[in-house]
Amino acid sequence: MTSQTFFPVSQDHCKDFGKISVPKRLLFGPGPSNAHPDVLKALALPPVGHLDPFYVGLMSEVQELLRYAWQTDNRLTLPMSGTGSAAMEATIANSVEPGDKVLVAVKGYFGHRLVDMAGRYKAEVQTIDKKWGEAFTLDEIEAGLIKFRPAILAMVHAETSTGVCQPMKGIGDLCKKYDCLLLLDTVTSLGGVELFIDEWGVDLAYSCSQKGLSCPPGLGPFTISPRAEAKLNSRNGKVPNWYLDVSLLNKYWGSDRVYHHTAPVNMNFAIREALRLLSEEGLENSWNRHLDNAQMLWEGLENLGIELVVDKPLRLPTLTTVLIPNGVDGKAFASHLLNNHAIEIGVGLGDLAGKVWRIGLMGYNSTSKNVDKILNIFETELPKF
């Protein structure tokens, strides 16, 4: 028997660990938002197997509720096991083949992420660009389609870095006219902003669980149209990302229910409850609630002399960007609110780093009571900086 030296593991470094205690926070940043209490209860239910008949039935319910939330009849509509970035990559991985021309309409941080991802899948990536805080016109989109003739146009509906909501009417029609697929980021719009996937002619879309759906992070809703399915089915080779390959996931989320991976069962309990709550409230009611509370926030901030970045017609009801006043250390103010008042707001990314705060009112957090809290805290604390 070969001699072996064993090194005993000391438990001294573990002796001070106790049960986890999470500080209470009001999450008014760009996400996550606070989860609805009923969603947290669902998350804490006892797990079952990922092929259990009960869970298989729940999977179908989640898919149907997601179709409602997105206003789509797409057969392949499912929550990816991963965060919104996983669903984002899934749209690219399944639709892009090496050499495909992909046009990305960049107007913020997450447009650049789409550029990066498409390049990693060996697409021939081109961009049209807009100043951060602005949106594209139909004429600008059409000019890009004429110039580059892409197989896919990728863009962000609700740009989390800027607070811009891209008008979508007519863009899908242009994509059909120039024979390309339309890929849309709906991470900060699903559940809180008008979304009509089928009516707008969107072919691939993705989102997340932790913003407008008031669910913890961990799932990435994904949907693909029949047009995009046809492109997927005619690929010359396999989808290069096994985990996100929808042709394989379809066998699990489709009628066959063939094992693909161990699904995060409890996260699907949670998103099922989140989507049920959205359905119970009604999409239009949710959209109107978010807009009403956002307008109250915008008016209140402007009354305090705080300047907003985005012109009103393009503002996101779920996320507002405000200019940091001259002489104020924006990061220090955000840290002060978190450390002393348990309130989280976001700071800027990319071109807006150090220039703005980002205030989220999403899902369960979008209430008039929370708007009052935000306005009161800005009125009392900002003068100290």
Residue 7: band (very low, low, confident or very high) from pLDDT cuts 50, 70, 90: low
Whether residue 32 is preceded by a cis peptide bond, meaning omega within 30 degrees of 0, is yes
Please name the residues in contact with 64: beta carbons below 8 A apart, sequence gap of 6 or more. Answer: none
Residue 18: band (very low, low, confident or very high) from pLDDT cuts 50, 70, 90: confident
Q: Residues 185-242: pLDDT tens digits?
A: 999 999 999 999 999 999 999 999 999 999 999 999 999 999 999 999 999 999 999 9
Transcribe 229-298 into DSSP letters: HHHHHT-SS--S-STT-HHHHHHHHSTT----S---HHHHHHHHHHHHHHHHH-HHHHHHHHHHHHHHHH
The model's pTM: 0.95
What tokens does 180 get? 């390309």
Architecture of domain 37-279: 3-Layer(aba) Sandwich (3.40)
Element housing 67 (H / E): helix 53-70
Is 211 in contact with 193 (CB distance < 8 Å)? no
Mean pLDDT of 286-303: 98
Residue 256: band (very low, low, confident or very high) from pLDDT cuts 50, 70, 90: confident
Domain(s) of CATH 3.90.1150.10: residues in the chain: 26-32+283-384
Q: Homologous superfamily of 26-32+283-384 in CATH?
A: Aspartate Aminotransferase, domain 1 (3.90.1150.10)
Mean pLDDT of 341-365: 97
pLDDT of amino acid 193: 98
pLDDT of amino acid 189: 98
Instruction: Indicate the pairing of strand 346-347 with strand 219-224.
Output: unpaired
pLDDT of amino acid 3: 56
Is 215 in contact with 204 (CB distance < 8 Å)? no
Mean pLDDT of 120-128: 98
AA letter at 43: L
Residue 17: band (very low, low, confident or very high) from pLDDT cuts 50, 70, 90: confident
Domain(s) of CATH 3.40.640.10: residues in the chain: 37-279
What tokens does 196 get? 């009509």
pLDDT of amino acid 133: 97
Residue 142: band (very low, low, confident or very high) from pLDDT cuts 50, 70, 90: very high
Q: Residues 39-62: pLDDT tens digits?
A: 999 999 999 999 999 999 999 999
Residue 10: band (very low, low, confident or very high) from pLDDT cuts 50, 70, 90: low
Rounded to whole angstroms, the Cα distance separating 176 from 178 reads 5
Q: Residues 89-103: pLDDT tens digits?
A: 999 999 999 999 999
pLDDT of amino acid 2: 54
